[in-house]
Structure formats: structure tokens, C-alpha cells
Structure 1
Amino acid sequence: MFSYRHAFHAGNHADVFKHLVLVAMLRHLLAKDTPLWVIDTHAGAGLYRLDGDYAGTSGEAQDGIVKLAGAVGAHDTLDGQALAPALADYLDLVRGFNRPGDWRIYPGSPFIVQKLLRTEVRDKLKLHELHPSDSKALAGNVAQLNAGRQVSVAREDGFEALKALLPPPSRRALVLVDPSYEIKSDYAKVPAALRDSLQRFATGAYAAWYPVIPRPEAHELPRKLRTLAGQVRKPWLHATFSIGQKPVAAGEPADTRQGLTASGMFVVNPPHTLKPALEAALPQLLQVLGRGRGKGHSIEAGGA
């Protein structure tokens, strides 16, 4: 149950895609003066070293944030063209955790969110992580922020925690649901948690990440979430991003392990600015990270 460690995958293409969407959502939601609660159901360790034992061993960041950073010019340009605002915003935020030209630190969603929250209007960040090692690391990393009551860390099941947190006092919240899907039941727990949460707090923004892999549960998840959004009559946005298959070098076996090549984000009650932001950013992201057969992106939206 506790074998998954996100540190192996920190800064990979799925993180880049997921956090690009997260930052774009937050920029819109934080434009209002009323406090925002952000609830992260599966927070991980919060902060990762790309040259550490885990990320350094997997090397996945080399096809993600490291590759993106290397392709972007000093003035946030790509092949002489300005970066899409959402992509430039995300990259600048991650850059802020590193020394100039040195990409050794990757912030997970807890640190990305906290960096954007406002103290003057009392925004809150609620973090949940059940993995014993990651929960301990998360608590230690958050303690260094000296964020006081703005950030809370709980070692508990994030799916269950939502029931006690919704609706928030401010009636404004962004919920990030990002399990490892290492356990097959996670595919059923995600729509169940969103259904229950929407019944408790219908106007919240909900973002669920999932891996695009060849198993029925992964294929069915976005369909179930689309059905759910239709049943509760809420707008939705579904985006996917695939870097494609890694070209096989001469002499390598044809069955060389590819690892995860694609992922998706399903958002219920998306900000109206999210779709145009992704329409501008994802083609540029694909231009840098796309690597072979099957690469591409998609954006669908519908509902009320």
C-alpha cells in the first residue's frame, strides 16, 4: 500500500502539466478579495531534490521540467516567440525555488500553492498525506515555511478528510485530488469523493489528475467524471497531455520500458480563463516535451 513515492517522478512531464493547470486556476481564483481554501488530498512530501536519490535515479525530470527550462530563453521565449502567459507563469514560479541556471529543486503542489496564497486575506492550505515517510517529510518541509496557521498538515486519508472540510467558511475552495492510483480502488474513490464533495459544496472548483495508461479503470475515469458533472449540472474541462513514445535507439529491444507517457486533468467548475490559457500553453509545452509517436494534447469543455 505504501510503496509509491512521488519523489521518483518529481518534475516529470505529468508534474509539469498538472502544475501548469493548477497555477492557471489559482491565478484566476486568487483575483477575488475573499479568502480561498486550497485542499490537497494527496500532498506527497511537498518539496523534492532533482539530484537526490529518488528523482536522480529515475531521471524523469530530464524529460520534464529540466527539458522545458533548457529550451526556454532568458526572456521566456521559445524559438523567438514569447511563452504563453500560463506557461511563463508556471516556469517563473518553479524558477524561484532554484538558483539562476540551476534546476535542483522541484516544488510539489503544496509549495506551489503556498507560494501564491495571500496572507492579508487569510487564504488557507489544507494538506493531507497518508504515506508515513512522505507525511513526515511534508511536515518538516512545511515547518521551514514559517507559514503559521495558513498551512496545516494532516497524516490522514485525503478522501475522507474532504467530508469535514467542505464547505469552507469562506465558501470558496479549490480541491486538488491527486492519488497515486497505485491502488486500483483509487479509480473508484475519485468520482465517489467528488460526488460527495459536490453535494456538500456545489460551487467549489475540483481538479482531479489521473494517468493515461492501458487499463480499463483509467480509461473509464474521465467518462465517469463527465457523467457526474452532467448529473449535477456543473461545467467541466478535461485536458490531456502526452509526450508520446520514446524513440528506441539502434540495438535496444523493441519492448524497452516507456514509463508513463500521458496524463489527464479533469476539472469541475473550472475558471472561465482556464480553457484559453491551456489552448495557448499546451501547444508550446508539446513543442518542447513531445518526443515521438502518440504525442499530443486535447482540451474539451462542456456543461452548464
Structure 2
Amino acid sequence: MLSYLHGFHAGNFADVHKHHTLVALLTSLNRKEKPWSYLETHSGKAAYDLADDQALKTLEFKEGIAKLWTQPSVNESLQAYFECVKQCNGDELLSYPGSPAIAAYMAREADKLHLMELHPNEVNVLKHHFRRDPRVSVHHRDGYEGVLSLLPPKPNRGLVLIDPSYEVKEEYEQVVRFITMAYKHWPIGTYAIWYPLLPANRWRFMLEDLRRTGIRNMLLSELHVKQPSEQGMYGSGMLIINPPWNLDAVLKPGVSSMVDLLKQDASAHAEVSVWVGE
């Protein structure tokens, strides 16, 4: 949706959850010297000014990254993610890195990034940010179509991040269709799907549809920060297809710590579990 701008939501609790997972996945890829490919369907901007009008209108970052920033220390599981945020800032929290910036920060010289963004203003900012980085290709095109056109990528190991706005209900079905096609082209790739926990519960149907695709090896991570209400996002979810070995053990302490740091009421909890086995 071209009306969606992530600047209103940058650094919120969902970003903390999503990007902690992303850092864990990229850390796993970096354990081998062989280069990797990173592809993203909905890239947004590389960095977000937390003092601009969009961020200040919603103040969502106050319920997310700002709560981590004030901690004297974070646990080991969150540390690598926290370092990515700190490298965009000095002593004061002024900016929040989007997933393209996090991926570029963790990428090595031979790794390749392919970033899809359809919004004309956002893609121009993204192109400007990476104008001198030969590892990064920015594509002004539909994210699903663009990523599919590049599969299987070169290098032939890596990760796809699927992170739509879900502003229209058809997006949930589109994610399932995309995964079904992408997996046929690149069955060895890792796919990380973010989804919002909203009262309409469309995410539950999406997860069930993904289970019915017959694709194996799916890991689920969810952060619930408050009790579901009639409106508004109450949690964040990530579904990982082809997760690296031991990812669940890496994620569990991080999301457990997030519950303590980001909870908005006493019902807050987290879950990391196998959604579909191998």
C-alpha cells in the first residue's frame, strides 16, 4: 500500500521483536565464510529520524526501542541487535535503523542485498542512502514480483524478509501465494515473515494456510505485550521457514527479556515454538 509510511511506527515493540529475529538470522549466516543473499519485499527507508513529525505524532518508539535504550545493560541475546541500533546513534537515541540498514551493517564484502520498495518517496531515500554501497541493489518495484524474479539468487544461500503493512486483508493471502511460489524457486532459502497480532485474527488464518502448503520446517516466535482489545496491535509475530539450527534456543532468551522490558500490562507473554516440524 502506497499510503503506508513506516516512519510513524519505527522503533516500536514490533520492530524490536522483528529486528532481533533478523539479527539472529544474519548472525547465523555469518558463521560460515560462504557469502549470502538478502532479499526484502517491503524495504521502506534505511533509517528513521525519531525526532521528525511522523515519529513524534505516534511516539510508538517510546514503547519499543526507547525502553531498551534506557537499560544499563541488556542480555546476551539482545546485545547484537542493540549494537545495530547503537551504531546509528551517539550517546542519545535519535535514529532507528530499518531492516535494510541492519542487513547492510551485518553484511560482509561478498554478501549481496536486494531491496524492493514501491513507494516513490521511500525508494528515493533508500537509493540515496546506499548510493555508494556496491553490495546493495535498490529496486523500485512490487516486492513480491521483484523478489520472485531474482530467485534463486546469487549467492545461493540466504534470507528473504517479508514485511508488508497488512493494511488490506488480502495481504495475508498474498503472503501465502508468494511463499508457495518462492519456495518452488528456492527451497533451500530461509524465509522470515513478520505479521501483526490484531483483533481480527487474520494472521491465524494465514499461519494455517501456510501450514497447509506442505512446506516443512517452520519456527514461530510471538511477542504479546498486552491483552487483546477491540482495536490496535497487541503483539508481533515472526514465522521462519527453514530456520538455522538452534535458532529457537537463540531467540527464547531475547523474547523473554522483551516481555519484561516492553510489557504494557500483566498479560504480556512470549512464545517460541515449532509451527511445522521437519
Task: Indicate the TM-score class for this superposition, using the shorter chain for normalisation.
Answer: over 0.9
Structure 2: stretches of 5+ with no match in the other structure: none
In the other structure, the counterpart of 1:239 is 221
Residue 281 in 1 paired to residue 269 in 2?
no
In the other structure, the counterpart of 1:20 is 20
- Give the number of the structure whose alpha-carbon radius of gyration is greater: 1
| Per-residue Cα deviation, 1:114-162 (whole angstroms, up to 9, x for no partner) | 000000xx1000000111221122112222xx212x0011110110112
Give 3-state SS (helix, strand or coil) of 1:11's partner: coil
CA contact under 8 A between 1:243 and 1:294: conserved in structure 2?
A: yes
User: How many residues of Structure 1 are paired with residues of Structure 2 in the alignment?
Assistant: 277
Work out which of the residue numbers 138, 147, 155 in structure 2 matches 1:153: 138
Counting only pairs closer than 5 Å after superposition, residues 95-106 of structure 1 correspond to structure 2 as 95-100=86-91, 102-106=92-96
CA contact under 8 A between 1:225 and 1:266: conserved in structure 2?
A: no
**Structure 1 vs Structure 2 CA RMSD:** 1.6
CA contact under 8 A between 2:199 and 2:233: conserved in structure 1?
A: no
Residue 117 in 1 paired to residue 102 in 2?
no
CA contact under 8 A between 2:218 and 2:239: conserved in structure 1?
A: yes
CA contact under 8 A between 1:23 and 1:86: conserved in structure 2?
A: no
Residue 293 of structure 1: CA displacement? 4.5
Work out which of the residue numbers 72, 83, 99 in structure 2 matches 1:92: 83
Give 3-state SS (helix, strand or coil) of 2:130's partner: helix
Residue 245 of structure 1: CA displacement? 4.6
CA contact under 8 A between 1:213 and 1:219: conserved in structure 2?
A: no
When residues 258 and 293 of structure 1 are mapped into structure 2, their CA distance, relative to the original with a 3 A threshold, is farther
CA distance in 1, matches of 2:235, 2:264: 12
TM-score calculated relative to the size of structure 2 = 0.95
| Per-residue Cα deviation, 1:166-211 (whole angstroms, up to 9, x for no partner) | 1113220200000111122211111111111111111100000011
Give, as a single letter, the amino acid of the residue that structure 2 aligns with 1:236: M
Residue 218 of structure 1: CA displacement? 2.2
Work out which of the residue numbers 103, 107, 128 in structure 2 matches 1:140: 128
CA contact under 8 A between 1:42 and 1:128: conserved in structure 2?
A: yes
Structure 1: stretches of 5+ with no match in the other structure: 78-82, 247-254
TM-score calculated relative to the size of structure 1 = 0.87
CA contact under 8 A between 2:111 and 2:155: conserved in structure 1?
A: no
CA distance in 2, matches of 1:184, 1:114: 31
Q: Percent identity?
A: 35
